[in-house]
A and B are shown apart, each in its own frame.
Chain A
Amino acid sequence: MHLSFSKVSKQYPAPSGIVHALRDVSFTVARGEIFGIIGRSGAGKSTLLRTINALELPDAGAIAIDGLQVGGLDEDGLVQLRRRVGMIFQHFNLLSAKTVRDNVGLPLRVAGIKPDVVRKRVDALLDLVGLSDKAEVYPAKLSGGQKQRVGIARALVHDPEILLCDEATSALDPESTQAILALLRDVSSKMDLTVVLITHDMAVIREICDRVLVLDHGQAVEQGEVWRVFGDPQAPATRALLRPLQHGLPADLAAQLVDDLDGRPGNALLSLRFNGAAQPHGVSLQQLALLGPDATLIHGGLDRIRGHAQGSLLVSLPASSWQSIKASGAFGGANHGHGADFIEVLGYVPAPA
């Protein structure tokens, strides 16, 4: 395995007592993979990421890159390691006193590489990130997205095997975020780069990651392929993080919802969830039609993640039709006629009097 963590733990003293930043975290990342680590603030993501290039050292456990133990390296060993592992940051961390060219070239310069070689390499990377015309500019004159491009060029200048991204898009506007994520996806495939990124934004994970690890209070509470975790989240922390991306019950409907109509006319509200496992290609309209001619799609959506369509749909249909569908067995049972992986009656909305 390219990158492996086994039972990594780290704690440090704080005024409130000992903080367990990481507890027995184990996972592996394959070469060329884009691996996401997500968690709320203070979950230990940042510490976890920094143990990979030994900016932080774990108290227990082992981290290995292609079999090389990261712990126990001397300064020379660390410098060599860090030249194989690039890193980009939320606040870019570009040197204000150096031009874009000198920022990108610095890792090579301190490695003792000849200036003309450095220059060529820097030009190639600025070209890759689309900033060839900004070489002589100081970082203060750049936009956030451009600064992160410089950060990426600097991180890739040593042609590393692994790129660490520390909340790389959290300080950017939505448009720059999309552009930076596209660039990361692009360079990772072009350079056969393994990317490990941390974020608190599930949208970033959905956008570019192959696999994800959910960290909560220093523990790995869930990990797996992104579509699986999104389609059927298990841990409460995962569900909480996913909530902003999900189509929950709209507030106006929630206000009208009752548990029972008590014989009055009204509609049943059904939530259909698709986890992407049984029907990765999507939801058939024919199957949905089994809910009858009066059924209405009122909210929801599907996302195709790595070829797996998952998501949820909110359906409203007359309570009487729902009763007969349920009775006829067209719904549910073993055959899942409607195709949904989970179906839940959220409640009923009485018809206006």
Chain B
Amino acid sequence: MATALISLRFSVMSLPPLNKYFQAFFETLLMVGTSALIAIGLGLLLAIVLTVTARNSLYPKPRLHRGLSVTVNVFRAVPFIIMLVALLPVTRFLVGTTLGTWAAVVPLTVNLIPFYARIAQVSLNDVDPGLVEAARAMGCRRRHIIRHVLLPEALPGIVGGMTVSVIAMINASAMAGAVGAGGLGDLAIRYGYERYETRVMFEVIVILIALVSVIQLVGERISRRFDHRH
């Protein structure tokens, strides 16, 4: 019945069929999920390196720290759509093609790493220096301090930052349509914007709002579970 209705609608108004929505939804999840997994891992690593190499920190390396910091700023300054194009050779080298969902993972990941690194860095820097001092006083080595003090104490912020990052990425993934990646954003642009199917655009936006809300809610829940500060 529903299929019949959809196909009727499709034939009359040239709307995308229901499975187009599903496909776009899964493409978005795939793109965002894969990029988020890689970028959050690498971003967290970068955040730790940035934090511990700062002056007066555990492994003071001011030069390395400044170099990394400038690099992060450069990557954060470049607009995503430009990075998408600029990274084409890298994408071809890593994925073998510059088109499709997997090809979009590369620029999305590169875009997110410095973004997430800064968010996580703020949380790591916010860890009370008194806790680090107490850890040193109890005979912790520096790696113990990272593992038992910095990371667990910053965890609520680190998890909160993941939520922010994943949502920012869903947004950025709309532009990945430019490399034929598909996804919900692409569907909204192609049908809604370019073909003036306002209804498709709104439907996609409603799906995106639901997706963002669910991620935000789940993120907050998890973040709260790790937070024992109050």
Q: Which residues of A contact B (CB under 8 A)?
A: 53, 55, 75, 79-80, 82-83, 85-87, 89, 91, 93-98, 106-107, 109-111, 138-140, 154-155, 158, 164
Contacts and interface: CB of A to CB of B under 8 A. Distances in A.
B155 A97 contact: yes
B67 interface: no
Contact of B228 (A80, A97, A107, A164): A97
A107 B148 contact: no
Nearest to A139: B228
Given A93-B130, A96-B229, A79 B152 contact: no
A106 B141 contact: no
Interface bracket on B: 20 to 34
Interface stretch (B71-79, B132-140, B161-169, B201-209): B132-140
Contact of A53 (B137, B140, B152, B229): B137
B220 interface: no
B136 A55 contact: yes
Contacts of B230: 140
Interface of B: 128, 130-131, 133-142, 144, 148-149, 152-153, 155, 226, 228-230
A154 B131 CA distance: 13
B228 A82 contact: no
Centre residue among A80, A85, A110 by max chain B CB count within 10 A: A110
B139 A75 contact: no
B139 A55 contact: no
Contacts of B130: 89, 91, 93
B62 to A, nearest CB: 17
Contacts of A107: 138-140
A138 B155 CA distance: 15
Given A79-B141, A110-B138, A164-B137, 20 more contacts: A55-B133, A75-B141, A82-B136, A82-B138, A86-B138, A91-B130, A93-B131, A93-B134, A94-B134, A95-B131, A95-B152, A97-B152, A106-B138, A107-B138, A107-B139, A110-B139, A110-B140, A139-B228, A155-B138, A158-B139
A107 B138 CA distance: 6
A138 B227 CA distance: 10
A173 to B, nearest CB: 21
Nearest to A97: B152
A75 B139 CA distance: 10
A78 to B, nearest CB: 8
B137 A55 contact: yes
Nearest to B136: A55
Contacts of A86: 137-138
B120 to A, nearest CB: 15
A95 B136 contact: no
B223 to A, nearest CB: 12
B225 to A, nearest CB: 11
A87 B229 CA distance: 22
Contacts of A111: 139
A185 B153 CA distance: 32
A139 B128 CA distance: 15
Nearest to A83: B139
23 contacts: A55-B133, A55-B136, A75-B141, A79-B139, A82-B136, A85-B137, A89-B130, A91-B130, A93-B130, A95-B131, A95-B153, A96-B153, A96-B228, A96-B229, A97-B152, A97-B153, A97-B228, A98-B148, A106-B140, A110-B140, A111-B139, A140-B230, A158-B138
Contacts of B153: 95-97
A251 B226 CA distance: 56
Nearest to A106: B148
A158 B138 CA distance: 9
Interface centre among A53, A87, A91, A106 (most CB of B within 10 A): A106
A110 B152 contact: no
A82 B137 contact: yes
Contacts of B131: 93, 95
Given A93-B130, A138-B228, A87 B138 contact: yes
B23 to A, nearest CB: 41
A83 to B, nearest CB: 4
